[in-house]
Amino acid sequence: TFLQVIGVVGVAVSVIPWIAIPLVPLGIIFFVLRRYFLQTSRDVKRLESTTRSPVFSHLSSSLQGLWTIRAYKAEERFQELFDAHQDLHSEAWFLFLTTSRWFAVRLDAICAIFVIVVAFGSLVLAKTLDAGQVGLALSYALTLMGMFQWCVRQSAEVENMMISVERVIEYTDLEKEAPWEYQKRPPPSWPQEGVVVFDNVNFSYSLDGPLVLKHLTALIKSREKVGIVGRTGAGKSSLIAALFRLSEPEGKIWIDKILTTEIGLHDLRKKMSIIPQ
């Protein structure tokens, strides 16, 4: 299609050479519009992709827990939450469609100006041009509107779809966890007693993030039941995250005299279990 657009412009210029003069400013206007449109639509497409994920995630989790939702009579609350996610996505999607229509109108205007230039150029040079050449140039120029808009839309769509590739690349740049297994492995019967020792433990969910656990020192004896009470954000679930090494803690955590940072993640996590609330 891109070659067809070039062919149409080439035929029109070969029949009426002087129309190449207005083609230069039209081309400049087109490239400026395209660049302006892509800068906006790329961010809008990124916003649309970001707001689409919660819709499917909420729908999937609702279907999986449908019996629980009905048992607790929480249908209305989940429906309101779905409507909120859907409204956010619809806003972004409508904004993306609006930007596409805005660009399409201006593309049609550029193509219409080109057709007008060819038509009036044919009238000015009517005495020197052959009727067949004029008809060929006009028919090609009229077909340009659809082809040109489709071609440009596809090129813009390719760049917008690169947002998906960008998100995949972001996952490839994530920091890797520690190895699943080390040469040093705990005994098959570990842990037997269940003694947990926190020795001056600091924990953060990211390298440059704030510490959610600061200088924690504690001893949990064998067969001892411990209740941890605190307000939201006090670090209760962060204790579990530190035990499972969801992020690498500072300090030392011992389980039955074995340092958790000296064994592989698979050996550590398969020996523990958690029942989330």
The string of pLDDT tens digits covering residues 115-131 is 788 788 777 777 777 77
* Within a domain: 186: no
Do 72 and 104 reside in the same domain of the chain?
Answer: yes
Considering 84-88, 225-229, 273-277, the range whose residues carry the highest mean pLDDT is 84-88
Which amino acid belongs to residue 204?
S
Position 33 scores a pLDDT of: 84
* Within a domain: 177: no
94 pLDDT exceeds 80? yes
Do 121 and 232 reside in the same domain of the chain?
Answer: no
Which amino acid belongs to residue 134?
V
What mean pLDDT, rounded, does the chain reach? Answer: 82
Residue in this structure with the two tokens 């656990």, named with its chain if needed = 213
* Within a domain: 85: yes
Mean pLDDT, residues 133-142 taken together? 73
197 pLDDT exceeds 80? yes
Do 141 and 86 reside in the same domain of the chain?
Answer: yes
Q: Which domain holds residue 238?
A: 196-269
* Within a domain: 191: no
- Out of 135, 157, 172, a domain closes at 172
| Other CB atoms within 10 Å distance of the CB of residue 15 | 23
> How many CA atoms, within 13 angstroms, populate the side-chain half-sphere of residue 259?
11
Which amino acid belongs to residue 248?
E
Do 94 and 129 reside in the same domain of the chain?
Answer: yes
136 pLDDT exceeds 80? no
**DSSP 8-state symbol, 275:** -
* Within a domain: 21: yes
Position 277 scores a pLDDT of: 63
Position 1 scores a pLDDT of: 61
Which amino acid belongs to residue 175?
E
Mean pLDDT, residues 54-69 taken together? 89
251 pLDDT exceeds 80? yes
- Out of 172, 207, 236, a domain closes at 172
CA–CA distance from 208 to each of 203, 238, 250 (Å)? 11, 16, 13
Phi-psi region of 223 (alpha: psi -120 to 50; beta: other; left: phi over 0): left
Residue in this structure with the two tokens 């941890």, named with its chain if needed = 228
What is the radius of gyration, based on Cα positions, of the chain? Answer: 32
Do 8 and 86 reside in the same domain of the chain?
Answer: yes
* Within a domain: 26: yes
Instruction: Answer yes or no: are the C-beta atoms of 244 and 268 closer than 8 Å.
Output: yes
83 pLDDT exceeds 80? yes
CATH number at residue 156: 1.20.1560.10
Q: How far apart are CA 162 and CA 119, in angstroms?
A: 39
Do 168 and 200 reside in the same domain of the chain?
Answer: no
| Other CB atoms within 10 Å distance of the CB of residue 111 | 22
Do 57 and 117 reside in the same domain of the chain?
Answer: yes
Instruction: Answer yes or no: are the C-beta atoms of 153 and 100 closer than 8 Å.
Output: yes
C-alpha distance across the termini of the chain, in Å: 57
* Within a domain: 183: no
Do 151 and 216 reside in the same domain of the chain?
Answer: no
* Within a domain: 48: yes
Position 276 scores a pLDDT of: 67
Do 82 and 168 reside in the same domain of the chain?
Answer: yes
Lowest mean pLDDT among 20-24, 58-62, 74-78: 20-24
- Residue 276: exposure state from Cβ atoms within 10 A (0-12, 13-18, ≥19): exposed
Do 211 and 86 reside in the same domain of the chain?
Answer: no
CA–CA distance from 28 to each of 33, 110, 139, 156 (Å)? 9, 11, 24, 17
Mean pLDDT, residues 156-173 taken together? 76
pTM metric for this prediction: 0.57
Do 109 and 147 reside in the same domain of the chain?
Answer: yes
163 pLDDT exceeds 80? no
Q: How many domains does the chain have?
A: 2
- Out of 140, 172, 204, a domain closes at 172
Instruction: Answer yes or no: are the C-beta atoms of 42 and 156 closer than 8 Å.
Output: no
Do 23 and 140 reside in the same domain of the chain?
Answer: yes
